[in-house]
Structure 1
Amino acid sequence: MAAAAMAAPGSAGGQFFGALLRSKAVVAGLVVLAAILILAIFAPMLSPYSPSKLSLANRLKPPSGVNLLGTDDFGRDVFTRAAIAGRLSLVVGLSVVAVSCVLGVTLGLLAGFFRRLDAPLARLIDAMMAFPDILLAISLVAALGPSVVNVVIALGIVYAPRLARVVRASTLVIRELPYVEAARALGVSTPRILVRHVLRNLLSPILVQGTFIFASAMLAEAGLSFLGVGVSPSVPTWGTMIAQGRQYLDQAPWILFFPGLAIVLAVLSLQLVGDGLRDLLDPRLAKDI
């Protein structure tokens, strides 16, 4: 009996991952994400060049066996800088997901579970979502100052309402279910009900929304860096590389083409993984699959 009980969760997990890996789109997304992650982590080992060392004698060199993706206007290797920039984008995206989950889940749980807090918190969430994401992010970064930490905080605040609305809507349904009412009748404390009976049943939508927020955060970070209001211009990011290379579009298009391609691939791969998770975790869509 005990062995069967222990095998059941593993079997369910194996079935889930098996179904996930049967999706060609999800597999393609995971492969691209793994490639970006490997390049970001092992960039110093894969390239002999420094991302910041200037070499004016080698400026605007086209892609070749020496410089795989060419060089920029200061003679810096584009491949090295793009790989290092991917590390920052991944860290920022993951950090934004963590911040937005803490804020969004907290607001959503409070608004959905406590009737007295629902109206004011719901209006706060709606007010935050009324602002365009990029404008709100620019305003927050301008107020806090340009740095990686402030970009993460600003984007975390920007994307928290998205998650809060999903959590609130699900909590409104879960709080009326019989097992929650039974827990209340048995005298279970409210924090325990929120964690054990409500939050545990929200992990699926939170996971799906987290992948979409990850993709949006990477794109937003690149946009802020492109506009010059993100991290310091001395730090390699995909956005700053595109901004610095746009004046050489006719002469050296590879300066902005490869960072732009990296952004597209990273965001697209996360969207594919998110779509696959949503299709598998949503019972209504799983029936169609």
Structure 2
Amino acid sequence: MGETLSTLRMRPLVATGVLVLGTIVVLAVAAPLIAPHDPGALAITNRLKPPGGDWWFGTDEFGRDIFSRTLHAGRLSLLVGAGVVLISGIIGILLGILAGFFPRLDTIVARFIDALMAFPDILLAVALVAALGPSLFTVLVALGVVYAPRLARVVRASTLIIRELPYVEAARALGVPTWRIIVRHVLRNLASPILVQCTFIFAYAILAEAGLSFLGLGVNPEIPTWGTMIAGGRYYAGQADWMTVFPGLAIILAALSLQMVGDGLRDLLDPRLGRDL
């Protein structure tokens, strides 16, 4: 706890990231209590109202309150990020350990990882969503597959080092089962790089979901996410800029704060960086 507070004091940008991210999460979780209006309520007489008065962020083409929709959209956007982290984590950790701990599988798995990373992230995501059909589930699966290789490479590189350490060799010599060595000795030492990488994947997933929604390949447009809000507001650019400005700012703040938190975790969990601080 003391090291965490020391890191936050010496890295004001990290402290700012933690504060911003915490605020976004609290607002998203408490959206039903905070939102002044029903995010799905239609009021054509109030369509395209500029920010001010009862409409803090203005209204959209159907008269829906942008502020309320931005709060509720944060819930699903953060859920997409968390879901992608979970899926990519399972796939990435499995592939990374298989490649790093078992030499016979290293070449095959490593080439598979390289093949996935040869495609641009958004292009591979678009291809997967187009093949499976746009929905929340397919977006989660597609982005999980896209970002799994990033984590797999980190896990593989760390596992290659850990498997040669003396205590792992000693465990092998004592006849400890392989699965037990992986769980007790490998995974425990991989916790730090995995945690740091997951914060970056979380940010990438939020941005990618917005990109897919903008292209019409995201979740159902009727479901408010920051990405679908921007996709709907692009038709009113110049006429009602607030429709894209506020959800866009939410995406920027969420992604930037996650990057700051990831940097802070990396500094905190890496002893060498901790000594430098």
Residues 1:287 and 2:252 aligned together: no
Is 1:197 the counterpart of 2:197 in the alignment? no
Query: After superposition, where does 1:159-238 map in structure 2 within 5 Å?
Result: 159-238=147-226
TM-score by length of 2: 0.97
Give, in angstroms, the shift of residue 15 of structure 1. Answer: 2.6
CA distance in 2, matches of 1:64, 1:26: 33
Note the C-alpha offset of 1:114.
0.4
Retained in 2: the 8 A contact 1:138–1:224?
A: yes
TM-score under structure 1 normalisation? 0.93
Length, aligned pairs only:
276
1:19 — aligned with what?
6
Aligned-partner Cα distance in 2 for 1:145–1:16: 47
2-side partners of 1:48 and 1:273: how far apart?
Answer: 30
Identity of paired residues, percent? 67
Aligned residue for 2:30, secondary structure, equals helix
> Contact 1:112–1:118 at 8 Å: present in 2 too?
yes
Paired position in structure 2 for 1:36: 24
Structure 2: any 5+ residue segments left out of the alignment?
A: none
The aligned amino acid for 2:7 is: L
CA RMSD of aligned residues (A): 1.1
Q: Does 1:239 align with 2:230?
A: no
Q: What's 1:88 paired with?
A: 76
Q: Does 1:74 align with 2:62?
A: yes
* Counterparts of 1:37 and 1:279, CA distance in 2: 23
- Return the match for 1:59 from 38, 47, 52: 47
SS in 2 for 1:287: helix
1:103 CA displacement? 0.5
Rounded to whole Å, the distance in 2 between the matches of 1:181 and 1:65 is: 69
Aligned-pair CA distance for 1:267: 0.1
| Aligned counterparts of 2:104 and 2:232: Cα–Cα separation in 1 | 51
Offset, 1:150 = 1.4
SS in 2 for 1:67: coil
1:76-112 Cα offsets, whole Å, 9 max, x none, are 1000111111100111101111111111001000100
Give me the whole-angstrom Cα distance separating, in 2, the residues matched to 1:109 and 1:40: 35
Contact 2:66 2:243 in 1 (8 A): yes
Question: Residue 7 of structure 1 corresponds to which residue in structure 2?
Answer: none
Does the 8 A contact of 1:133 with 1:158 survive in 2?
Answer: yes
1 CA distance for matches of 2:272 and 2:123?
36
**What is the deviation of 1:45?**
1.8
